[in-house]
Structure 1
Amino acid sequence: MKSIKENSKKHIINISIILAISIFITFMFAGFNSSWQDILLNILYGIIIGFSIAIGSSLISKKMYSVGNWELNPINKYIQVIIAITLYIGIDVVIVNLIWFKLTQNLSPTELIHSNMFVWIILSELVIGIVIYLIILSTNFSKKLNKLYIDNENNLKEINKYKYSTLKNQVNPHFLFNSLNVLSGLIYQDTDKADDFVGKLANIYRYVLDVQDEEVVSLTQELEFIKDYLFLQSIRFGDNLQYKINTSSDKMIIPMALQILVENALKHNSITDKNKLLVRISNDDRFVIVSNNINPKSDTANSHELGIANIKARYKFLTSTEVEVLNKDNKFEVRIPLLNIEA
């Protein structure tokens, strides 16, 4: 609400300045020693020409900045706006003056075109209008750039915060403790499987360290990682944990996203002989889909929201497509957007 009031106040000030200048310039051309009727006509003319320039230029600027992502190339967008407004002001002053002189002095367009005074008025209003709007545009553009710089700095801090949060949460003592606990028992039962377990555990930590500075990774990379992670968890939970992976895509996702969702499923559901957990990972053209049946633990209600909030926060810097969360019919499903960008 405050922002709307500030913008309205700013537009009113800009329009008032342009109207005042337009009226003053009108009197400079017409002279101040005129009848009251001429004075009123001059004021009306100044209001019409100033208002048409101010409103039209403001709408053009607003429309052009709302189309596309101007932040990607701000200088190019600024030049485009200047060109568009220059063309508009030129057309506007010609049309307004043609209509005005026809109505007030019954002069035809042919007569006006051959009038040096008319040409001088058009050129003067064009130059003055462009100069005024260049000042306004430059001021607004400077503010936009400053805000863009601040937003980018804040976004970078947010990204780093969530990257650190992801790394900290995944390389944690609990996961390592559980893995070593499983390994200690496995060594005496099946040495080959124990060797495999150690290799996949090493792969997991190597992957975490490799991607900690990456914004995106290929879905193929992430799937290799999550398969190793699920292998370790299947050793821990046995047949009570089942998973099915059916994916095929050369697109990208953010690193560790699948692991966060799988860990949520393991953490927030009871996994027993009576309550088996099935995790499914698949994809369509737009999303990777991670789903699981629901056997909720009584002490972890809604605690999955933190991990999903992490994923959503990281995705908002990369795409306008939102992470989708569905919770119905005894199934919890999260749909993560696939990205068409390079790592």
Structure 2
Amino acid sequence: MAATYVFSYYLIPKYLILKKYAWFALYSCYTLIITSYLSIQSILYALVFLQDFQNEGITPITKTLPFILLGILMIILFAIVLQVIIYLYQTSNEKEQLKQQFLTTELELKKQQLDTLKMQIHPHFLFNSLNTIYGFTLSKKEEAPEMVLKLSNLLDYILYQTQKEKVSLEEELNHIQDYIALEQMRFQDTLLVEFSQQIESPHRQISPMLFLPFVENSFKHGKIINGFLQVEIKIEETKHQLHFYIENTCQANETQQSGIGIKNIQKRLQLLYPQKHELKILQQEQKFIVDLKLSF
């Protein structure tokens, strides 16, 4: 018992677990030698007292001592193995708990980052839309009430629907169309928009507000060339991929600024679709192009 306690509570945790194998082997030898010596002494004294100092009829100790020592050593070995198994089990559980805590913390951090990015997108989008409506109200144009209605639909989507982790592709596209309608009222005859879509599964779930900042950016930073601001939007959805493409006219020698909206979308894509998205932002002579592909 003494040897078992020495191994279990001193040698194993202090040397074996810490991978100090040389010291563990050395102190194990010392312990086993002392254990063997004390065991022999105990056996000798036990036999003497049991026989009342009568040596007649006593079985020669040389025949049984090795087996007794072997039994003691086997018990010690069993205790060592059991202690190591218990330690490995506890260590495995602790590692699993730490892994779960790390994953939970990482998910919470990503959620906080996404919430922060959304909060940056919403005021930016609202500010641009209100500026448009403000210009219409100053001019007292008849389109102002309809613009307010379109904006209210967009605000409902932004404030409530985007709090969800996923929305349907159909909802996202409907609100893109509402935004385009707002811009058509603002630009009047100077805007040419081509919006085409090929959707196989309109109820497919995607993260909200993925495409609208790109659309907003094309109107905000696009330039009127030859009397028109031209915007082309294509959305194609298949079983395994969603392809979003948008281009707008811009000045040939002017770098179009992407703004906070697109920068945030790039960060959100890295968080929401790691290794599952391909985003290309190109500027040609008189065109600014955004090409986004999502894999499912």
TM-score class, shorter-chain normalisation, is 0.5 to 0.7
Greater per-residue strand proportion:
2
Match of 1:219 in 2: 169
1:21, 1:146 → 2: CA distance? Answer: 35
1:197-239 CA-to-partner distances (Å, cap 9, x unmatched) read 4432332222222224222211100111110110111222234
In structure 2, the CA distance between the partners of 1:137 and 1:194, relative to structure 1 (3 Å rule), is same
Q: Which residue of 1 aligns with 2:257?
A: 303
Check whether the contact 1:183–1:197 (CA below 8 A) recurs between aligned residues: no
Rounded to whole Å, the distance in 2 between the matches of 1:14 and 1:274 is: 81
Matches within 5 A, 1:3-22: 16-17=18-19, 19=21
Change (3 A) 1:131 1:199: same
Q: What amino acid is aligned across from residue 232 of structure 2 in structure 1?
A: V
C-alpha distance in 2, partners of 1:127/1:302? Answer: 69
CA contact (8 A) 2:133 2:148 kept: no
1:132 corresponds to which of 83, 87, 100: 87
Letter in 2 for 1:333: V
Matches within 5 A, 1:1-343: 16-17=18-19, 19=21, 23=25, 27=29, 31=33, 123-124=78-79, 126-172=81-127, 174-182=128-136, 185=139, 187=141, 191=142, 196-237=146-187, 238-248=189-199, 249=201, 250-274=203-227, 276-285=229-238, 286-296=241-251, 301=255, 303-304=257-258, 306-320=260-274, 321-327=276-282, 330=287, 332-335=289-292, 337=294
Structure 1 unpaired stretches of 5+: 1-12, 35-114
The CA deviation at 1:132 is 2.7
How many pairs were matched up? 241
The Cα of 1:175 is off from its aligned counterpart by 1.9
* Cα distance in 1, alignment partners of residues 122 and 76 from structure 2: 67
SS in 2 for 1:247: strand
Show CA shifts across 1:258-304 (max 9, x none): 220011112222124345322213123322413204414877x3631
How far apart, CA to CA, are the structure 1 residues paired with 2:237 and 2:72?
Answer: 68
Q: Counterpart of 1:129 in structure 2: which amino acid?
A: V
Tell me, what secondary structure is at the counterpart of 2:250?
coil
* Partners of 1:162 and 1:219 in 2: CA distance: 20
TM normalised by structure 2 equals 0.64
Task: Give the match's secondary structure for 2:245.
Answer: strand
Task: Give the structure with the higher percent helix.
Answer: 1
SS of the aligned residue for 2:19 comes to: helix
Q: Is the 8 A contact 1:281 1:291 kept in 2?
A: yes
Counterpart in the other structure of 1:66: none
TM-score by length of 1: 0.57
Residues 23 and 277 (structure 1), Cα distance of their counterparts in 2 relative to 1, 3 Å cut: farther
Q: Is the 8 A contact 1:240 1:273 kept in 2?
A: no
Shift of 1:251: 1.7
Q: CA deviation at 1:333?
A: 1.9
Q: Deviations over 1:292-324 (max 9, x none)?
A: 04414877x363163233123333443322351
* Rg larger for: 2
Q: What percent identity do the matched residue pairs reach? A: 20
Q: Aligned partners of 2:206 and 2:16: how far apart in 1?
A: 45
Greater relative contact order (Cα < 8 A, sep 6+)? 2
> Conserved in 2, the CA contact under 8 Å of 1:246 and 1:283?
yes
Does the residue aligned with 2:181 lie in a helix, a strand or coil?
Answer: helix
